[in-house]
């Protein structure tokens, strides 16, 4: 199945465009809350301490996630030696890898064009682009799950190819030590088994006498997990460190089983993900009205190439819908396999006049909305402008973000007008313009408020050579702190942190300062002697010396 020169050229162009879309904004901003500073801080502390088994957030262990993603962040830093550039690289590479796996499996199952359309469908989904441009674990676990399903389908639909099956199981294990849910790739064996039972055509025979080959898949899965789990458990059980033992219990029970069966936040109704698919998978989700009857016909025809990946995706949807705790990014791993199940039909759907009209209408609506919102904010003071400026910590009357929205909206509408004779090209150009300009522009314009880099640099200027103690701090404060810094725990109450910080400050008042969140300052603080450092993430921060806490000596 060697590609022709034209096919290679098409593939190169697709990945060149995908790289521009997904890489736009890298290096232009620091990590932004909620998750990015936390994950970057954990990786940075692993790198500096050399402790790769037990993640830390400050002085405390961080048991919420397994460590593979933090290892990848550390590996990215080892290459570029700059956290501003490194923290987004794993997501970028994982997204590009996911696109390639989607294309390659579609090519092998149907044709080059089917694979390319499947990859386009993934890249065209808003959720995929947004997550790929964030330093969160979801793009990475999506890659490992996609690789897992890819390997299993290479064996079950195009096999026998045992090495791909074993690699798929190994990838599922790597997914487990990145975010726990990597095992979902193995659910592909359920529709395969059901289809074998119902004697669907086009499947690789299980083969008599191959029980050992199938069992090696389980060993590959467990072996991948054991790369971290075994040394971590040995250390936790033999070190005598109660924190490591508590880390093991928290990770295995509260952050896995309890979080799934009895979630304590992000509770949503069972149908929540249907709305996510309809809205967050745009513009790919526009094709669903055309896809549903085709998938119905494929089911009647017992087409395993369509229904094995689609059946797996439905199992994943059912799995996450059954848990009370739901977040939109949970179903991101479904997207590549749903796009793959759509692959043989997308070219015909894209040729439909109604689909093209819908796509153009969506792009025009987005462009008009951005242009209208930007101009309204520049020419007046609508409520949404004041609300957004207050939420983002922007000075009232700040014009740059609104000029950005106006410019992006105008550029989208001009692209649609100039390429109106070629609807797909017009919509694609408009949407690429939206993503590249908006993500790059907001990275430049909003970084000072969305990250803590500026406020921590200001704190260092005010403190001089003094050591800074952090009270009621957030991960971005410790991550972007400059010079000597200490902290008094992250999960402890602000009152406990302030009490320890005050005692620490008094012990060496000439060479120490406290960096304190406004709401965490005790009533005994002399506010006239507190230095305002600035605001970041809509929080106000102060620097205190010993004179500012003189009245707190009784604490």
- Which region among 138-152, 196-210, 391-405 has the lowest average model confidence (pLDDT)? 391-405
How does DSSP assign 270-314, residue by residue?
TTHHHHHHHHHTTTGGGGHHHHHHHHHHHHHTT-HHHHHHHHHHH
User: From CA 424, how far away is CA 396, in angstroms rounded?
Assistant: 40
539-544 and 531-536 as β-strands: parallel, antiparallel, unpaired?
antiparallel
Report pLDDT for 236: 85
pLDDT at 260 over 60: no
d(Cα 266, Cα 206) in Å, to the nearest integer? 41
Answering whether pTM is above 0.85, one says: yes
Q: How confident is the model at residue 551 (pLDDT cuts 50, 70, 90)?
A: confident
- Asked whether the beta carbons of 397 and 249 are under 8 A apart, the reply is no
Strand partners, 468: 485, 513
Cβ atoms of residues 36 and 133 within 8 Å: no
Sign of CA dihedral 365, 370, 373, 375: negative
Percent of the chain with pLDDT over 70: 94
- For residue 81, pLDDT beyond 70: yes
Write out the residue limits of the CATH 3.40.190 domain(s) in the chain.
453-552
Least confident interval from 84-98, 355-369, 396-410: 396-410
Half-sphere exposure of 305 (CA within 13 A, CB side): 16
Quick one: 396 exposed, middle or buried, by C-beta within 10 A (0-12, 13-18, 19+)? Answer: exposed
Average pLDDT of 223-240?
90
Asked if 11 contacts 103 with a C-beta cutoff of 8 angstroms, the reply is: yes
Inter-residue contact 176 to 142 (CB < 8 Å): no
Whether residue 411 is predicted with pLDDT greater than 80 in this model: the reply is yes
Helix or strand holding residue 401 (H, E): helix 400-418
Per-residue pLDDT tens over the stretch 138-150? 999 999 999 999 9
pLDDT in tens, 328-359: 999 999 999 999 999 999 999 999 999 999 99
Identify the residue with better confidence: 236 or 464: 464
Q: Which CATH class is domain 453-552?
A: alpha beta
Distance CA 48, CA 39 (A): 14
Is the pLDDT at 555 greater than 50? The verdict is no
The predicted-structure confidence for 355-396, as pLDDT tens digits, reads as follows: 999 999 999 999 999 999 999 988 887 777 667 766 666 666
In the structure, what pLDDT confidence band is assigned to residue 240 with cuts at 50, 70 and 90? confident
pLDDT at residue 261, rounded to an integer: 54
């Amino acid at each position: 199945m060697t590609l022709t020169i034209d096919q290679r050229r098409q593939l190169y162009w697709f990945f060149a465009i995908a790289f521009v879309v997904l890489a736009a904004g890298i290096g232009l901003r620091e990590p932004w809350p909620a998750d990015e500073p936390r994950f970057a801080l954990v990786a940075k502390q692993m790198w500096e301490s050399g402790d790769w088994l037990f993640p830390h957030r400050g002085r405390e262990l961080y048991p919420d996630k397994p460590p593979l993603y933090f290892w990848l962040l550390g590996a990215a830093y080892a290459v570029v030696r700059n956290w501003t550039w490194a923290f987004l690289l794993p997501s970028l590479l994982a997204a590009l890898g996911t696109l390639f796996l989607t294309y390659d499996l579609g090519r092998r199952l149907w044709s080059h064009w089917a694979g390319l359309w499947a990859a386009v469908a993934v890249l065209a989904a808003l959720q995929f682009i947004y997550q790929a441009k964030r330093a969160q674990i979801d793009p990475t676990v999506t890659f490992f799950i996609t690789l897992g399903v890819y390997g299993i389908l290479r064996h079950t639909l195009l096999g026998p190819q045992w090495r791909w099956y074993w690699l798929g199981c190994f990838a599922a294990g790597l997914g487990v030590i990145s975010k726990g849910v990597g095992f979902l790739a193995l659910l592909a064996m359920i529709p395969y088994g059901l289809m074998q039972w119902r004697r669907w055509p086009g499947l690789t025979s299980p083969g008599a006498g191959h029980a050992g080959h199938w069992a090696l898949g389980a060993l590959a899965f467990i072996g991948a997990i054991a790369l971290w789990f075994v040394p971590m458990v040995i250390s936790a059980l033999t070190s005598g460190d109660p924190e490591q033992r508590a880390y093991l219990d928290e990770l295995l029970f509260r952050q896995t089983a309890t979080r799934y069966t009895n979630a304590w936040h992000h509770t949503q109704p069972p149908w929540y993900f249907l709305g996510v698919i309809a809205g967050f998978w745009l513009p790919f989700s526009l094709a669903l009205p055309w896809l549903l009857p085709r998938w119905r016909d494929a089911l009647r025809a017992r087409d395993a190439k369509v229904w094995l990946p689609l059946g797996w995706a439905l199992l994943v949807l059912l799995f996450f819908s059954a848990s009370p705790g739901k977040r939109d990014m949970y179903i991101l791993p479904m997207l590549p396999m749903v796009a793959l199940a759509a692959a043989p039909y997308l070219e015909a759907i894209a040729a439909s006049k109604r689909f093209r009209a819908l796509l153009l209408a969506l792009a025009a609506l987005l462009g008009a909305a951005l242009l209208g919102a930007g101009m309204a904010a520049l020419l007046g003071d609508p409520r949404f402008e004041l609300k957004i400026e207050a939420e983002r910590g922007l000075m009232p009357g700040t014009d740059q973000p609104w000029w950005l929205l106006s410019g992006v909206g105008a550029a989208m509408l001009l692209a649609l007008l100039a390429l109106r004779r070629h609807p797909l090209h017009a919509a694609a150009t408009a949407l690429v313009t939206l993503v590249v300009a908006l993500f790059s522009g907001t990275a430049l314009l909003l970084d000072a408020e969305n990250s803590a880099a500026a406020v921590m640099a200001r704190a260092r200027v005010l403190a001089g050579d003094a050591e800074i103690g952090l009270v009621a701090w957030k991960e971005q404060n410790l991550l972007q702190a400059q010079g000597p810094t200490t902290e008094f725990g992250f999960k402890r109450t602000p009152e406990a942190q302030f009490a320890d910080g005050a005692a620490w400050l008094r012990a060496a008042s000439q060479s120490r300062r406290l960096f304190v969140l406004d709401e965490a300052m005790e009533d005994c603080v002399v506010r006239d002697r507190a230095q305002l450092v600035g605001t970041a993430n809509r929080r106000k921060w102060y620097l205190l010396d010993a004179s500012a806490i003189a009245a707190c000596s009784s604490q």
